[in-house]
Structure 1
Amino acid sequence: MSDAEPTPLLISDVQERVARELDRLAPVIDELGRRFSEAGHTIALVGGPVRDAMLGRLHNDLDFTTSARPDVTERLLRGLTDAIWDMGRDFGTIGARIGGWQVEITTFRSEAYDPDSRKPEVNFGDTLEGDLGRRDFTVNAMALTIPDRGFEDPFGGLVDLAAGVLRTPGTPEQSFSDDPLRMMRAARFAAQLGFTPAPEVVAAMTEMAARIEIISAERVRDELVKLICAPYPRRGLRLLVDTGLAEYVLPELPALALERDEHHRHKDVYEHTLTVLEQAIDLEKARGGPDAEPDFISRFAALMHDVGKPRTRKFLDDGTVTFHHHDMVGAKITRKRMRALRFSNDQIDAVSKLVELHLRFHGYDSGEWTDSAVRRYVRDAGDQLERLHILTRADCTTRNKRKADRLRRTYDSLEERIARLSEQEELDAMRPDLDGAQIMQILQIAPGPVVGKAYKFLLELRMDHGPQSPEAAEAALRAWWAEQQAGS
């Protein structure tokens, strides 16, 4: 399954990986370190690049922390790069490109949120240890000073990294009070690294979950996207639900735990949904190759596909439960949630379409669909067809092997029919056999609503009967037009 256990970490492996990574980074860290050191300033590689070097994950985006103020940092970078940007100057950050690396150098700092503010207050610090102590988790509070390549780990991050544990440098209550988004980051790192949050971290997240409301929707959205695109999303999502954070950022997910699925009575809809997500990830890799980039649209559609069930649940007299039209209701709920999280219109449209169409295949049964129905399936899916294939297949979580095999074979048959018709009829570019200009010329009419109606008629003709010759399409159009005029 996609949520397999991460590989245990050995200290000897860590040391070897770090040495190799520092050698790889030598072209940038040696000269950068020399410049800051000669100017009397401390500079250190810090955060994710240090952590990931220990995990064997390579970075070309490098984060540094320094005692130098932004103006000094900018001056020391001159001559080393011709590309400097200072959009983060107010937060103490100067960015630059050095060779093939993009670097961000931030003055030692501390930041905290006012209880009622969405924007952090930034204060510059004076020591490396003080800067590390203000970071989110101990595994991100390690540093490698340059140019001497000294290892700084005042809070035991290496031990926690080896144990796969997420702890905060200080108390989690203080950490999450300073920046409530760190609670989302805990879930994201659980999903990315497969780590387990320490009990006190979970307790603080549970107690302080409501504080996430002061964080902007955009920042919450960005963390959620990273979580869902991570290798172990089930871990992160479970943490959000178990601590109550999901009630504030994605309330549709914990609501599913209250429902029973009429097709999968051995598990609730929440568990079914997490399994569908994992199976979608497996299919994403199987169809796109092992190096395929994580597809947020496909994964989020899997996560949201059944969110309409709580609102459509009905108990029948015989004890069964139905969720009629939960696909349509779920698409509306999905659209509303994604708008609240400030997703783009294109993302909202794509995910909502997949949620709306995820049950369409079940009308196919054993292949009784006409070619017309197959064409409509392709047209309605549009550019989301491949993702719809993944979602529909992933939605089968039955433990009945015979039933699962039958569903798989049936969908194989549908994909084969789509491929065959696509080859014959260019379904991906499905349009009427006459365009708007031809319609106006044949009917001798000016641009207006009637052209659109005629276009729609010809598209339906194309759906029902496949491609038409120009002569046949024109004859059908003239017959339709005669009916329209006779009825007016």
Structure 2
Amino acid sequence: MSPDGLESSPAVPATTPDAPTPPLSMVEVQQRVSSELERIGVVVDELGERFEAAGHSLHLVGGPVRDAMLGRLQNDLDFTTSAHPDAVERLLKGWAEAVWDIGRAFGTIGCRKGDWTIEITTFRSEAYSADSRKPEVAYGTDLAGDLGRRDFTVNAMAVSVPGRVFEDPFGGIGDLAHRVLRTPGRPEDSFSDDPLRMMRAARFAAQLGFDVAPDVVAAMTAMAERIDVISAERVRDELVKLVCAPYPRRGLALLVETGLAARVLPELPALQLERDEHHRHKDVYEHSLTVLEQSMDLEERLAAPDGPGTPDFIVRFAALVHDIGKPRTRRFLEDGSVTFHHHDVVGAKLVRKRMKALRFSGEQIDAVSKLVELHLRFHGYGDGGWTDSAVRRYVRDAGDQLQRLHILTRADCTTRNRRKAERLRRTYDDLERRIGELAEQEELDAMRPDLDGNQIMRILGIGPGRDVGEAYKFLLEQRMDHGPQDPATAEAALRAWWAERQG
């Protein structure tokens, strides 16, 4: 085993959930759209008639049309219209059960009708000036202009209602059938209008498993620095969607290839270390992508709010960045071997800095950095076994991230050597078994000292202050070392500790 705790065999090649998918047939696409329109017709036709009667056009657009062709059903519907927001709001009131205008500044009015969530946006055009982080929004005059300002051809299709007339001025149906992302016009113009679309290209590649057209990739590469005008929050949101997509390797590889990653997550391309001449350490970048994919296979272990197997950003992102401390800590030894001592601690600090810059919440930052800091802890377990005290400390230090730490540690094994992989699996199985046994016996999840603060003050005859905190820490260490103790034993240990402190 290498000094950093990872197997030194070559990394397993990328798994292939994102292998090229056969093109869709036009007949299949048309059948899917027809079926989806029948499902949502009760809402879209009625709404279309309402707008038509008021002298306005209404068109189902974007993701709902694209997803209908892909057979992905949803209850979130996006429309564009010739009506301005005030008129849209009037038409929705009395028809929808709830109406909101949080997006009014961008020409969008939202509502809820039964199980449907609907957003209706006035025809518009928007663009970023050279140094602005916010788009300038202006209303458009027709559907073709509105579709032309959209990011990709597969999102630039529409169905006019109530007549259910299909509109595809930029060939989106053909691109969708061939699973390729193109822009309605020149990609340079599209990305100049909204640089975030470069990240959206990577995100859609990850979500849909689509290829990105060569001219789009070229424009992303040439214009990568334009992403700097986009707010950290918007970049963060796209990154989260990408990492939580079915094929994140596709999107991440595109970000690295085009140079966008160097601007939004520079620690990722930095993992492309030059391999030493003897090839004695892993390709850290490929290893990290593989760990990410293997963590996805283990997500079903988490009790996710939306059910087992729901994408979990925290564990996925921790898997992606768990080794980002390696470039800073790499050392070559005289025998040609490579070490990355303390890359776990260094990596945790780098994670905090990057996630803070991307405006992640404190809770998310704490969770990911804790996982990165602890991801090597397990490897000491197989070197001779741990005492019950060491197991308790592992649980205590992991805290509420214990289940994610189980996933990350298991996913971090990418050796091709089946014997070694099986040994690591069995060893971690044994650690989890011991954690389970101790948890059942000692309520590890609620681990506390055997005496509380009030009891400490009464026994020692002291008031609130630093000494009470120190005594609490001492008793918690006792709990770690010896397990639960009866009050008399805990009190005797506390008195002995106090007497020693008093000299």
Q: TM-score range by the shorter chain?
A: over 0.9
Q: Which residue of 2 aligns with 1:83?
A: 98
Contact 1:109/1:125, CA 8 A, preserved across alignment: yes
Q: Which residue of 2 aligns with 1:473?
A: 490
Contact 1:110/1:134, CA 8 A, preserved across alignment: yes
Equivalent AA in structure 2 for residue 158 of structure 1 = I
Q: Does 1:61 align with 2:76?
A: yes
Q: Which residue of 2 aligns with 1:136?
A: 151
Contact 1:83/1:97, CA 8 A, preserved across alignment: yes
Q: Which residue of 2 aligns with 1:5?
A: 19
What SS class does the counterpart of residue 258 from structure 1 fall into?
A: coil
How many Å separate the matches in 2 of 1:459 and 1:391? 27
Contact 1:259/1:269, CA 8 A, preserved across alignment: no
| Alignment equivalent of 2:234, drawn from 219, 225, 228 | 219
Q: TM-score, normalised by structure 1?
A: 0.97
Contact 1:367/1:413, CA 8 A, preserved across alignment: no
Q: Does 1:245 align with 2:260?
A: yes
Moved more, 95-104 or 220-229: 95-104
What SS class does the counterpart of residue 414 from structure 2 fall into?
A: coil
Moved more, 365-374 or 89-98: 365-374
Mapping for residues 386-401 of structure 1, pairs under 5 Å: 386-401=403-418
Q: Deviations over 1:368-416 (max 9, x none)?
A: 1100000000000000000000000111001111111111110011000
How many Å separate the matches in 2 of 1:342 and 1:141? 31
1:263, distance to aligned residue in structure 2 (A):
12
Q: Does 1:104 align with 2:123?
A: no
Q: Which residue of 1 aligns with 2:388?
A: 371
**RMSD of equivalent CA atoms:** 1.7
How many Å separate the matches in 1 of 2:268 and 2:366? 20
How many Å separate the matches in 2 of 1:327 and 1:171? 44
Q: Which runs of 5+ in 1 are unaligned?
A: none
1:84, distance to aligned residue in structure 2 (A):
1.3
RCO higher in structure (CA 8 A, sep ≥6): 2
1:126, distance to aligned residue in structure 2 (A):
0.9
| Alignment equivalent of 1:34, drawn from 49, 54, 63 | 49
Contact 1:112/1:178, CA 8 A, preserved across alignment: yes
Contact 1:217/1:342, CA 8 A, preserved across alignment: yes
1:2, distance to aligned residue in structure 2 (A):
6.5
How many Å separate the matches in 2 of 1:71 and 1:167? 34
Mapping for residues 153-172 of structure 1, pairs under 5 Å: 153-172=168-187
Equivalent AA in structure 2 for residue 243 of structure 1 = T
1:229, distance to aligned residue in structure 2 (A):
0.1
Q: Does 1:20 align with 2:35?
A: yes
Mapping for residues 74-473 of structure 1, pairs under 5 Å: 74-260=89-275, 265=280, 267-285=282-300, 291-365=308-382, 368-473=385-490
Contact 2:272/2:285, CA 8 A, preserved across alignment: yes
Contact 1:2/1:232, CA 8 A, preserved across alignment: no
Equivalent AA in structure 2 for residue 435 of structure 1 = D
Equivalent AA in structure 1 for residue 17 of structure 2 = D
Contact 1:188/1:236, CA 8 A, preserved across alignment: yes
Q: TM-score, normalised by structure 2?
A: 0.94
Contact 1:262/1:320, CA 8 A, preserved across alignment: no
1:321, distance to aligned residue in structure 2 (A):
1.0
Distance 1:5 1:175, change over 3 A: same
How many Å separate the matches in 2 of 1:367 and 1:138? 59
How many Å separate the matches in 2 of 1:314 and 1:483? 44
Identity fraction in percent: 76
Q: Which residue of 2 aligns with 1:483?
A: 500
Distance 1:282 1:430, change over 3 A: same
How many Å separate the matches in 2 of 1:46 and 1:398? 46
Equivalent AA in structure 1 for residue 251 of structure 2 = G
Equivalent AA in structure 1 for residue 77 of structure 2 = L
- The structure 1 segments of at least 4 consecutive aligned residues displaced by more than 6 Å after TM superposition are 261-264
Contact 2:281/2:338, CA 8 A, preserved across alignment: no
